[in-house]
Amino acid sequence: MSALLTQDVSAAAQALRAGKLVAFATETVYGLGASALDETAVAGIFEAKGRPKFDPLIVHVADVAMARPYVAEWPDTAALLAERFWPGPLTLVLPKQPVISDLVTSGLPTVGIRIPDHRVARDLIRQAGVPVAAPSANRFGCISPTTAAHVAEQLGDRIDVILDGGPCRVGVESTILLLAGETPTVLRLGGVTVEEIEEAIGPVAVSTGHGTDERSETSPLAPGMLKKHYAPRSRLQLCDDIAAVPDGPRQGLLTLMPPPDASRFDAVEVLSETGDLREAAAGFFAALRRLDARNLSTIWAVRFPEEGLGRALNDRLERAAAED
């Protein structure tokens, strides 16, 4: 596959609607976008980037009206901040509606949402008519791209469309503000300052930890935030081979491909008949939830092949097994 490099917004919008991957310019860097309502498309983002784990992705919308159907609450503080700082580098983290894919939020009950300060990006999203989940359009570990040519170099053979919106202004990343608890909390410092936010809505807490990627593991807020990641109530145990699973009452099985014999299990979820990791990633959280609804004593999960999306799935499994 070779990406279509174009300035045609409507072609790119149509591709997004059709579940394709579309890179587009924002005011910060080029984003790699997919419909936030399409789990397979979102799985494709992680696959194309080669990310070894699932991070929550920021959802981009064209205007406030477009954000509202996807959040379960829209407090006055959100309205004030949106009025003041959108479009712009402020991401608001709010309780999500179920229609936003779990893969977008990495199983969190909240979604980070913002309006990019880039006309072409907003036109694209408005024409697509779907909220667009997008991390930076680079391969894992590589530099974030600020031109369409950078995107083509890194991802040209892995995505569908590159919408050339010219070079990015390369602002700072967006500030991320959690509006789901008692006190508004800055999770990442960025283009909108704490002072500006406080001037608009009063005092906020700041809990940014150290790095960016590892923030949720290292920040003081982390334990709480991590627990909000989806972890099953049943005990989750990992194995490499179901032959090694001891007999026991009310056991469930989560597996990539159909097992030769699953009669020992009370509930079985097969993620892909053909072993397709993208399909597996798209259905992963939903399958885990279905198993969890069965009141099992133990859910056994067979480790995924340690390659491509399999690595991110294994990382997610290990976290879910550890969170208790």
Choice between 70 and 265, CB closer to ligand AMP: 70
User: Least distance (Å) from ligand AMP to the CB of residue 279?
Assistant: 24
User: Least distance (Å) from ligand AMP to the CB of residue 59?
Assistant: 8
Choice between 190 and 283, CB closer to Mg ion: 190
Provide DSSP, 249-282: SSEEEEESS--S--TT-SEEEES-TT--HHHHHH
**Of the candidates 117, 279, 301, 293, the residue with the CA atom closest to the CA atom of residue 191:** 117
Phi and psi dihedrals of 178, rounded to 5? Answer: -85, 125
- Residues in the site for ligand AMP, rule: CB under 6 A? 55-56, 58, 93, 105, 108, 110-112, 135-136, 173, 176, 187, 215
Choice between 97 and 212, CB closer to Mg ion: 212
The interface partner of residue 108, options being Mg ion, ligand AMP, none and the CB cut-off 5 to 8 Å by kind, is ligand AMP
Choice between 289 and 303, CB closer to ligand AMP: 289
132-133 and 30-35 beta bridge pairing: antiparallel
User: Least distance (Å) from ligand AMP to the CB of residue 106?
Assistant: 8
Q: Find tokens 């996807």 and name the residue.
A: 70
**Of the candidates 247, 8, 30, the residue with the CA atom closest to the CA atom of residue 152:** 30
The interface partner of residue 282, options being ligand AMP, Mg ion, none and the CB cut-off 5 to 8 Å by kind, is none
Angle CA 227–210–56, to nearest 5: 45
Q: Find tokens 């064209």 and name the residue.
A: 62
Choice between 136 and 234, CB closer to ligand AMP: 136
Q: 71, 95 in Cβ contact below 8 A?
A: yes
Residue span binding Mg ion (CB under 5 A) among the ranges 130-138, 203-211, 231-239, 293-301: 130-138
DSSP, collapsed to helix, strand or coil, labels residue 240 as coil
The interface partner of residue 105, options being ligand AMP, Mg ion, none and the CB cut-off 5 to 8 Å by kind, is ligand AMP
User: Least distance (Å) from Mg ion to the CB of residue 112?
Assistant: 14
User: Least distance (Å) from ligand AMP to the CB of residue 234?
Assistant: 24
**CA-CA distance, 244 to 267, in Å (whole number)?**
17
The interface partner of residue 187, options being ligand AMP, Mg ion, none and the CB cut-off 5 to 8 Å by kind, is ligand AMP
User: Least distance (Å) from ligand AMP to the CB of residue 215?
Assistant: 6
Residue 273, classified by CB atoms within 10 Å of its CB into exposed (0-12), middle (13-18) or buried (19+), is exposed
Determine if 136 is a binding residue for Mg ion (CB under 5 A).
yes
User: Least distance (Å) from ligand AMP to the CB of residue 243?
Assistant: 38
Choice between 34 and 302, CB closer to ligand AMP: 34
Q: What residues does 90 pair with on adjacent strands?
A: 175
Residue nearest to Mg ion as judged by C-beta position: 136
Q: 224-260 burial, b for 16+ CB within 10 Å, e for fewer?
A: ebbeebbbbebebeeeeebeebeeeeebbbbbbeebe
Choice between 112 and 252, CB closer to Mg ion: 112
Residue nearest to ligand AMP as judged by C-beta position: 112
Which parts of this chain interact with Mg ion (CB under 5 A)? 136
